[in-house]
Amino acid sequence: MKSVLMITNAFPPQTGGGVIRPSRLAKYLPFWGCKPIILTMTKGNGLNNIKSSIIPDNCEIYRTPSFDPVIFYAFLKSKCNLIKSVYIYFNKTKNNDNKNSYVKIRQNISNYIFIPDTKVLWIPCAFITGIYIILRKKPKTIFTMSPDASAHLVGYLLKHIFDIRWVVEFRDPWIDNPFRFKRPFVILEKIDQWLEKEVVTYSDHICVTSVEYKSSFLKRYNNICNDKISYIPNGFDPDDFKNIKYLKNKYFTILHAGSLYTYRSALNFIKAFFDVLKNNYDLRDSIRLVFVGNLDINSYNYIKNSIFFNNINILGYKPHNVTIDLMCNADILLLIPGPGVGTMPGKTYEYLKSGRPIYCLSDHGPCSNLITQSGAGIVEYSNKNKDISDSLYNFIINIKTNKLIYKCPENILQFYDRYDIARRVAKIL
């Protein structure tokens, strides 16, 4: 066994799609000769009843504290008129949803104050703990993982102290992230770009989860060679699908798993879905649209003001095993990748494994290509309301009448098995 220091901000018991890949790598890397030592944050941000299997057995975990600026910010806002004024300036649109409001506060703090993100205050404790782990455990490799770039800066500092191999994984791009808000001040933007360049230059190897991300890095950094960057996709854990509780739904169910926000909004789909209900009276009492995870505020407000709000269920965050059960019992799975030529949500592969038909609302890109090539569903490329409602209605009828079968072939699924993905990562580590 070769020890690997895995540094990631996202790890159970935190919730969200970002915790699945590191937890599954920690689970399967030992099968391929790598013993992961996890360095992550102290406090989870979500449910206390997450299924224990999310955290791998016999996994050595070091958790270090992090100061969350949004909590301190909220406290000052309630005490100081000046902070209230700043809050009003940054939040000109009314938002009564506290969770969405906090997300917006955190994003504004990140955009205007913290580089590269709000997890930057975690770096000092993580850096000191990383030194302790390296001196005591003597890992052969440092492995830093997105989505938060602060984890890479911890690896960057450790790399400068110890002569140790450093592998960086960008599950999401840094500067080229389509969901990234460009810094409002030139100096902040320059610092952010310089930090990415330092990480890319001084790392020994880079992993990306999309071929398009690899092309983007090679285009911007002509001093790095093609062999320095490896494409290793996200995937699914076959163990998650062993004990599925199959139930007969009371309603025909269209389900979206994962959080939605401003740049990845369900609003266009919801408008089209309501049009389907408006034009097809017989569907109104027999169909439901279900969201697992946060819903973007524009979609939420639109639903509240609609006569069809009873046809929508917003479940919020659910434990991963519950989400998998819901996926496998849905009649249609909704996929909205959002902007970006390389954007590929991690849940796409769990969608494929579930065997349920996928309705993808997307531009041309890796996500739409995979759905089309695998035959697991259909892709609607248009943003026009009528085009979406027409294709959605036809898709619903085809599924209800069993006219078409959508299922991903086993030979394609094998490539996205997390057990084999861990083998490819271990080879690099």
> Each residue of 109-120: pLDDT tens digit?
666 777 888 788
Q: Are residues 186 and 129 in the same domain?
A: yes
E strands along 123-272, which residues? 141-145, 165-170, 205-208, 229-231, 252-257
* Domain assignment of residue 429, yes or no: no
Structure confidence at residue 406 (pLDDT): 84
Q: Are residues 222 and 304 in the same domain?
A: no
pTM of the model: 0.85
Structure confidence at residue 346 (pLDDT): 86
Q: Are residues 42 and 94 in the same domain?
A: no
Neighbours of 428 (CB within 10 A): 16
Q: Are residues 103 and 137 in the same domain?
A: no
Give the chain's end-to-end CA distance (angstroms, integer). 12
Domain end (from 232, 263, 288): 232
Cα separation, 154 vs 125, whole angstroms:
9
pLDDT reading at 74 higher than 80: no
Q: Provide the pLDDT confidence category of residue 330 given band limits of 50, 70 and 90.
A: very high
Q: Are residues 146 and 275 in the same domain?
A: no
* Domain assignment of residue 424, yes or no: no
pLDDT reading at 340 higher than 80: no
Domain end (from 79, 112, 145): 112
Instruction: Name which of 86-90, 92-96, 125-129, 387-391 the model is least confident about.
Output: 92-96
Q: Are residues 160 and 277 in the same domain?
A: no
Q: Provide the pLDDT confidence category of residue 48 given band limits of 50, 70 and 90.
A: very low
pLDDT tens digits, one per residue of 20-38: 899 999 999 999 999 999 9
Q: Are residues 347 and 394 in the same domain?
A: yes
pLDDT tens digits, one per residue of 214-249: 998 999 998 899 999 999 999 999 999 998 888 888
Tell me the C-alpha to C-alpha distance, in Å, between residue 245 and each of 265, 350, 423: 30, 16, 30
Domain end (from 112, 142, 172): 112
Q: Are residues 281 and 327 in the same domain?
A: yes
Q: Are residues 289 and 395 in the same domain?
A: yes
Structure confidence at residue 52 (pLDDT): 42
Q: Are residues 171 and 266 in the same domain?
A: no
* Domain assignment of residue 428, yes or no: no
pLDDT reading at 307 higher than 60: yes
Look at strands 377-380 and 141-145 and give their pairing. Answer: unpaired
Q: Provide the pLDDT confidence category of residue 76 given band limits of 50, 70 and 90.
A: low
pLDDT tens digits, one per residue of 401-423: 887 778 888 899 999 999 999 99
| Amino acid identity for residue 165 in this structure | R
Structure confidence at residue 249 (pLDDT): 86
Tell me the C-alpha to C-alpha distance, in Å, between residue 393 and each of 179, 275, 278, 383, 410: 30, 10, 12, 16, 28
pLDDT tens digits, one per residue of 274-302: 999 999 988 999 999 999 998 998 999 99
* Domain assignment of residue 426, yes or no: no
Please spell the DSSP secondary structure of 6-17, one letter per residue.
EEES--TTS-SG
Q: Are residues 102 and 169 in the same domain?
A: no
* Domain assignment of residue 427, yes or no: no
Cα separation, 363 vs 313, whole angstroms:
26
| pLDDT mean over 42-53 | 48
* Domain assignment of residue 157, yes or no: yes
CATH number at residue 372: 3.40.50.2000
pLDDT reading at 341 higher than 50: yes
Q: Are 44 and 15 in contact (CB under 8 A)?
A: yes
Structure confidence at residue 53 (pLDDT): 46
Q: Are residues 133 and 264 in the same domain?
A: no
Q: Provide the number of structural domains found in the chain.
A: 3
Q: In which domain, by residue range, is 103 found? A: 69-112
pLDDT reading at 79 higher than 80: no
